[in-house]
Every structure is written in C-alpha cells, then in structure tokens.
Structure 1
C-alpha cells in the first residue's frame, strides 16, 4: 500500500482555539503527522510513504521520494512552510494531482491511502458552504480507478466538523473515507486544551484504526528465485491479488524468473501495479538481490518472471513451496500473474517489480508466455557471429522456426504441446520498434525517388532480410503498396521523371516478389 501524507494548510481563520494549546495549529499537525509516520514505518515495513509538498506560492506541487525511511520523511514534514492567508489554495485539485502522480508511478492497481491532517478550522469567507446546491460540475471528479483503489482518512485535531473543501473531497471518496477526530477519541477531557503530550496516544489510535481497516494483521511471505538462487524479499507496497481463486488472499507468493529481455525490447508493456523489491531486513540480507541488480545493470536487461501462490517454508538452504512439484516444476493452477523485475534508475539501487494484468498471458512481440523456449531451441548449430554477420535470431530461414508449429519443423519435437490442443509456436524475442524504424526509413526514401534511389534500395534490402527473418513477408507487400501510393497521389513534374520512378518501382516489386517466393520455397 502507498501512504500519502497531506497537511491542510488552510488554517488561517476561525481556528478552534479552545482545544489548541499555545502552539501553532499547523505545528501541531506537523508533529502529529511525524508521529503517525514513525509508527507506520516501524509497523508496516512493506509499505511506502510519501509527503505532498503543495508549494502554493509558485503552483508547483511535488511528492517526496516513496520511502519508509523515518528521518527522510520527517525532514520533508519539517520543510513544509507555514500557510499564508494571502495565497489561494485549491485542495481538491491538489488531491486529484496527487492521485494521478501516484497511479502513474505505481500503476492503476496500486492501493492508496491518503492521510489528510487538519485542525478542523476553516474560512467560510473563501469557500461556499457545503450543500447539495453546489454544482458538482464545477469541481473535478475523482478518476474511476481512484474510486476503487484509493481511500481517504481525515485526521482532525478538533471534532468531526471539517471545512467545506475537505467535506467535498470526503464525499467523493465515500464509502472509502473516514474522519478520525480528537474529540471523538477523547470525549471526556472536559474541554481541556490539546497538548503535545496528547498527540502520542492519538497518533497510535489513528494508526491502529487505519491498519485494521486495511487488513494489515496478516503478513505475506515473498520469495524470489532464479535457477538455484533464491532469497526472501518484501514488496512495497504489498502485492494484493484481489481476484485470487481462494476465499482468502495467498499467505505467500513466489516470483520465478524464467528469462531475461533487453530493455529496448519492452516496448511499453501493460502494467497494473509496481512494487519495490528489497531484502526482508538488514539482518537477513543476501547477496542474491545485489547480484541480480548488478547483472541487470551491466547487461541492460530485465528479468521476466511468473508470480505463483503457495505456502512458503523458509530454511537455511533455501525456500520451497507447496506450489512446486517434486521435479521442480511449478503448478500452473497457482499461477497468478506475469511480470518483470527491473532497475528503476541506473543511478538508484532500487529493484522494481512490474506486474501485468490478469488477462495478459502474452505480448505481441513475445507470443504466449508459456510458449517461451530456451535459447538453445532457437540457436541450432550456429550462434551469432559478428564477423560473418550471421545470426539465428530471431530465426534461421531454412529451419522455419519463426512462428512455425511443431509440424513444420523437426526441431523441438520433444517439447510438449500447449494447453487446449493448440500447436506449439516458437516465438522471436525481437524488438518491434527496431523493425518499425526501418519501415519508416524506407517509406521516407521511397517518396523521394528517383534522387534517393541508391540509398533506397540499400535500405530496402536490409528491410527485406529482416522481414524474412522475422517471418512476416506480408510486411513487404504493404511497404510496396504504400510507396506506390505516395507517387500516385503526387503531381508528376515531367514525363521523364515519371518514367524513372516507374522503373524504380518495378525494380522494387521484383525484389520483394523474389523474397516472398524464396520464403515459400
């Protein structure tokens, strides 16, 4: 879960002076927020906390780094400036901006809890009174994804009466919103002023209420495995599988790395949630995560993985789960998701798990995940040779491996057929962007025939070789059609130029037809 700490800075007029000590209202809110953050980071280590810094003066809000480091978060709270009664503040817009930024970083399936601290006071001179007569169209509504994955808790130093703008936001989050007030927590204080000593028990009460409402009483063990290497890790925020087949969420998760992919080959896959991957504790640090991070950084790759559910039994030798067969194979019935582990930033030593949607069982440039084969199945007898410029990737044309079924090739006959009776299809781990750039280059040069004929045919030959290797000769047909269409729509400058263009177009069609015939043979 992602915890967002936001302080209401509209603490200028009509403050509840009868319940506040001689300290500033805003200073008490900052102290209360820091105490809640301390308890949150110590009690829920697999969550991330961020502080919203509004910066109303220059209208450039920002979020602090997602972290569970108490000194860093306390420093962010201390850096919040005292509110100014002159600067107009739009709290509703700030909340919407915060949700957008958090979902953009963690994915649309992230669970967000906003903790809004206020003293309960408000200025009715700046905001209209709450009521049904206020047109909802005047204020931005919460995005649809926030209505199910985001919740709001208002922590007030006064009673349940809050300012109109907070009340408006509170109604938008219903039924996933609540108000925790000092007077409700301490109704028998006889109207005594709130002191700093009272903030400790009140902070514990607020934290306990929030944790119970989100079901943090059960921990989920997570293990990360790659071959014979494994390590117990924690995910922040917690990966919660809402559509798990059992009546309860799994008590343990297992991340199985099944391959590595170059970062340039990702091509913006669909991601529903992101989670930081770290060691369980400093005492149980293992070299595996550091080794994995170094390998990903040096090779510029990401680790493709499958996420399984199962009961984990940790031991000194490693980790085993009941979702694994005796021969080491994983039970497909316990497969929850696919995703990939990657480094967030080359300058930051943080591993991130990006999870695909449930219905994402393959990607266009990878094919079905369960059909991915080891590199040996594609390599044949010859690996890539820089000197000769030869490569089996994505396929060797004579072997007909690319997108071919088992019946088309004798290679890989020992592999089992896929579930559902469909023939097994080899896939090519290629980048769609590289081929697309080659197509665009050829089309640009084709529009400038005949003056660019030399470089046009050179690039066309490269594109023809790539299309044949990728197993998509129909791409060449479309390229030829688009090139001819570009010249058909232009007004000819002269008959001589039209004849020259026609000669080049005929040469192009002859080259591409020979390529298609070569593939059919």
Structure 2
C-alpha cells in the first residue's frame, strides 16, 4: 500500500540525545533520518513497488517528495530538512488527507507513519487542546480523523520509555488512533535511545506492515512460487453467531476456468499484482517432490497462465483459503502492457450471488445442458440475463464526499462549455437532482442553484449569450417546486441564439 512518511521538524526535534562518555553527539532529528533510511532500505529489498511520499511538519506542513518508488530521492530530501517552529498535528493530518484523496481517491489503503519525539506541543494548537475541543464538540475545530480513506495511522516516538514527556503523551497518541477507528499502532524504542534501538524500532515497523507475501500457485501438476503486491491483509468474516479472521493461505489452488462474461463484474475486497519469484533460498514455498529451479532455465507457469487467460478471455477461479475464493485474470493498464492480477472475494463460498455456492461448481460436462457456445447458447449456471434490467443501469453512489464532489464537478465542467455541451449539462443536472431526491437530500437543490448562479456571474465577456440564459434558467428551476418532483425533467430554455451567431 502507498506510504506517507510524516516527519516532525519542530524545534524539539533538535534536542541533543544524551550518550555515554566519549560517544558521538546527535539530535532526535538525526535519529529520525537514520530510522527512516532503515525503513527505506527495507523497501528497496522487499517492496520495490511501494509508493512513498515524504511530508514534514511543525506549525505548518509541506510535501517534500511526491509519491515515488525511487527511495534515493526521498533519502536525499531527508538530508535537506531544516528546523522550524512548534509542533501542531492538526494541519499535517488535514494535509495528509487532501494529498491521498487527490492522488488515489478514497478507496486505496494508505499507511501514514508519523515520526515525532513525543512532544504534543504547548498552548493553542497543541494536541491536548485539540483533543479536548474534539471531545467537547467544538465546531470551530473540525476533526481530521478518521481519514477519508482506508488509512492506518502509525505513530513512531523517538523518546526513551522512561521519559516523563512520553508517558504523558502516549494516552493522547492512543486517542488519535481511536479517532481513526482504531486503525494504527504506536512504536517506542526498546532500551536506551540511540542509533541501534531506533533502527530496530523501524525494522519492527517494516516487518509488521511491509512483510512481502510469498506463496505457491498450483494448477494440477503445474506450480510456481509467487508474490502478491500489495501483500493481502487479514479480513474479518462475521456471521450472526460468530466472527473469525481469515488470512490468505501460502498455497493458492486454481479450481477451474470461466469465461469473462460468466463471472461479469463480481464484488471484490482487494486486488493484487501477481509476480513470479526467482528460485532463491528463502523465496520458495516447497511441496512434496519439489526440486531446485534455476532462473531462466525452467519455464514459468505464471507466464503461461497469464498468456492463456489473456488470449482466451477467461478467468481462473482460485481457492485462497478455507471457503475463500478469488479470480486470476489478465489486466491491462495500457494497450501494450498487461499483468496477471488476483482479485479477492468476500470470505465465504457464496460471495458471487449469480454463481451460487462456489464449492459446488464442477466441470461443464457434469451439467445436463448443452455446452456453452453451442445451439442454445446457455450457461451451465445462473448468470445475469441478457435483458437490461433497471438495476443494471449505472447508479449514483454518494457513500463519501468524494463521489458527490465528482458529480458536481462534472456538472460545472459542462456548464462552463455552454451552449456546446447543453445536452450533457442538462442530462447530468437531472441525474444529480434525481439522486438527491432519492436520498432525501433536498438541501442539495438550492446549493446547486447557488453554484450555477455563481458560475453565471463568472462567465467571461466573450462567452455566448445563451450560456448565461441557460445557467439562470437551470438555477431558477432548481429553486422551484417542480424540481422536487422526480417524475419531471428540467428542460433547456428555448432561445433565439445559436452557436452560429458568435
């Protein structure tokens, strides 16, 4: 998963660390740079596909490095950080949220590693004042947690466990993680505060959250050692009477193959890139009868599987654990480059409703129907019909603010291109209006009207006269009683203007 390294560069990070007599003097900022370099070295060795960004903060925050896979760029930036004013956590948490939503949206899991010396700040803007304001419901301070994305907040404290400042700060950091729905952890050096203990602490962070997945992919007698990126995380499987944690097994078994049309677009919980592992000590997951393989001398099963799925237009149903399945398929991010991907279903045999219980699937010859593609052109299991149902239409989803913002921005984009985009403008306007009425979000209608009126006042002098008329007309209709009737449509205003008059 992408990672944001948030480094505290306040004045307290410049405090010297007491060392034994004759030892080299260094500051807590030096310890932080050493620890982050240890973490980046781990990425180089085990997570080469990891996207990482560097952010520094004190009273304000700044992104020194955008998301990149080049760890040398981040290491070079670490050596250029300076010292700034007091510590404030609210701006950096808010800034991290905006960076992730802008770069990846709200669905990509992101790891946020907050490196500080355990100081929570003093006076206005301190962590204690912020937590008190959030707990008391002070509307003047908006809580940036939980993150608007699937994020984990890890706090790394560069302080000795016996320091009084750290003992007072730990409950506040625990409260921060609670505000993030409990997703996160706190790390403290073990023993004296020095280069060795800090390096070991960051190694523990790397091992806990960035350990690569290594497994064996099998299909009959064919097999290949693989790794998944990002590494799959445990999922909770809950039922009416029990709850259990499911983990992806180190042996993935291909159960069979299906056409893309039959599997359609099933609901998935995560997607992973499948890469073959070179036959090196520690990389392979051996079974009975396995022999040593040398790189380049033995054909790769993953290459054969990827090419076959791509050419035939099929997917491979794969068992990834007890009563847990996924699909392997070829996915292309461009016309020339494609990759082998694994998408995981929800744990359980009934994850794809139109396929029934996945444990009961068998060879096509076992079904008493003509083979798929012949006379009746029927499938051996219930799939979605060819008729286009009403629920098959693209629907509006506003689970998070990002979806609503994207729809409103689409309306604005068409509004700025009036009258050329008149048809698309009214189509999107009515779609958002009907969705708001369906959700009971009637307050959105006058807000959209105000938004269109503002766009009308900002039109340049060279714009077409019809643009202002259409925007004013749409804003007026949104404020009328007719707009609250989902059965009616807001139609364009008929005018005497045309694009030929410009």
If the length of structure 2 is used for normalisation, what is the TM-score?
0.52
Q: How many residues align?
A: 352
- Give the corresponding residue for 1:134: 133
Q: Report the Cα offset of residue 357 of structure 1.
A: 0.8
- Give the corresponding residue for 2:278: 281
- Please state if 1:222 is matched with 2:219: no
SS of aligned partner of 1:140 = coil
- Please state if 1:152 is matched with 2:173: no
Q: Report the Cα offset of residue 306 of structure 1.
A: 2.9
1:105-254 residue pairs with structure 2 within 5 A? 105=108, 114-120=112-118, 124=122, 127-131=125-129, 133-136=132-135, 137=137, 138-142=142-146, 150=152, 152-156=154-158, 161=165, 170-174=174-178, 178-181=185-188, 185-186=191-192, 198-208=194-204, 211=207, 222-236=215-229, 237-240=231-234, 243=237, 252-254=250-252
* More relative contact order, 1 or 2 (CA 8 Å, 6+ apart): 1
- Please state if 1:52 is matched with 2:74: no
Compared with structure 1, are the counterparts of its residues 367 and 246 closer, same or farther at alpha carbon in structure 2 (3 Å cutoff)? closer
Compared with structure 1, are the counterparts of its residues 378 and 200 closer, same or farther at alpha carbon in structure 2 (3 Å cutoff)? farther
1:441-470: CA deviations, max 9, x gaps?
xxxxxxxxxxxxxxxxxxxxxxxxxxxxxx
Tell me how far apart the structure 2 counterparts of residues 489 and 145 of structure 1 sit (CA, whole Å).
Answer: 36
Compared with structure 1, are the counterparts of its residues 220 and 82 closer, same or farther at alpha carbon in structure 2 (3 Å cutoff)? closer
Which of 335, 343, 352 is the matching residue for 2:331?
A: 343
Tell me how far apart the structure 2 counterparts of residues 77 and 436 of structure 1 sit (CA, whole Å).
Answer: 51
Q: Report the Cα offset of residue 277 of structure 1.
A: 2.0
Kindly report structure 1 stretches of 4+ aligned residues shifted beyond 6 Å.
Answer: 20-25, 55-63, 86-89, 162-167, 213-216, 244-251, 429-440
Tell me how far apart the structure 1 counterparts of residues 61 and 264 of structure 2 sit (CA, whole Å).
Answer: 36
- Please state if 1:305 is matched with 2:317: yes
Q: Report the Cα offset of residue 130 of structure 1.
A: 0.6
- Give the corresponding residue for 2:40: 37
Could you tell me whether the CA contact under 8 Å between 1:222 and 1:234 is conserved in 2?
yes
Q: Report the Cα offset of residue 116 of structure 1.
A: 2.4
SS of aligned partner of 1:295 = helix
Compared with structure 1, are the counterparts of its residues 140 and 169 closer, same or farther at alpha carbon in structure 2 (3 Å cutoff)? farther
Unaligned runs of at least 5 residues, structure 2: 19-23, 281-292, 396-486, 490-502
Q: Report the Cα offset of residue 247 of structure 1.
A: 10
Could you tell me whether the CA contact under 8 Å between 1:160 and 1:179 is conserved in 2?
no
1:59-138 residue pairs with structure 2 within 5 A? 64=67, 72-79=70-77, 82=81, 85=84, 90-96=91-97, 101=104, 104-105=107-108, 114-120=112-118, 124=122, 127-131=125-129, 133-136=132-135, 137=137, 138=142
Compared with structure 1, are the counterparts of its residues 15 and 339 closer, same or farther at alpha carbon in structure 2 (3 Å cutoff)? same
Q: Report the Cα offset of residue 93 of structure 1.
A: 2.2
Compared with structure 1, are the counterparts of its residues 33 and 62 closer, same or farther at alpha carbon in structure 2 (3 Å cutoff)? closer
Compared with structure 1, are the counterparts of its residues 375 and 256 closer, same or farther at alpha carbon in structure 2 (3 Å cutoff)? same
1:147-169: CA deviations, max 9, x gaps?
xx845241426767479999856
Could you tell me whether the CA contact under 8 Å between 1:11 and 1:122 is conserved in 2?
no
Compared with structure 1, are the counterparts of its residues 243 and 122 closer, same or farther at alpha carbon in structure 2 (3 Å cutoff)? closer
Tell me how far apart the structure 1 counterparts of residues 318 and 276 of structure 2 sit (CA, whole Å).
Answer: 19
- Give the corresponding residue for 1:290: 303
Q: Report the Cα offset of residue 273 of structure 1.
A: 2.6
Tell me how far apart the structure 2 counterparts of residues 97 and 367 of structure 1 sit (CA, whole Å).
Answer: 41
Q: Report the Cα offset of residue 34 of structure 1.
A: 1.7
Compared with structure 1, are the counterparts of its residues 3 and 164 closer, same or farther at alpha carbon in structure 2 (3 Å cutoff)? farther
Unaligned runs of at least 5 residues, structure 1: 107-111, 188-197, 310-333, 385-390, 396-401, 403-424, 441-487, 491-521
Compared with structure 1, are the counterparts of its residues 247 and 294 closer, same or farther at alpha carbon in structure 2 (3 Å cutoff)? closer
Q: Report the Cα offset of residue 276 of structure 1.
A: 3.0
Could you tell me whether the CA contact under 8 Å between 2:319 and 2:325 is conserved in 1?
yes
- Please state if 1:426 is matched with 2:381: yes
Compared with structure 1, are the counterparts of its residues 185 and 297 closer, same or farther at alpha carbon in structure 2 (3 Å cutoff)? farther
SS of aligned partner of 1:225 = strand
Tell me how far apart the structure 1 counterparts of residues 209 and 391 of structure 2 sit (CA, whole Å).
Answer: 46
Compared with structure 1, are the counterparts of its residues 84 and 150 closer, same or farther at alpha carbon in structure 2 (3 Å cutoff)? same
Could you tell me whether the CA contact under 8 Å between 1:91 and 1:165 is conserved in 2?
no
Q: Report the Cα offset of residue 139 of structure 1.
A: 0.7
If the length of structure 1 is used for normalisation, what is the TM-score?
0.50
Compared with structure 1, are the counterparts of its residues 19 and 432 closer, same or farther at alpha carbon in structure 2 (3 Å cutoff)? farther
Q: Report the Cα offset of residue 355 of structure 1.
A: 0.7
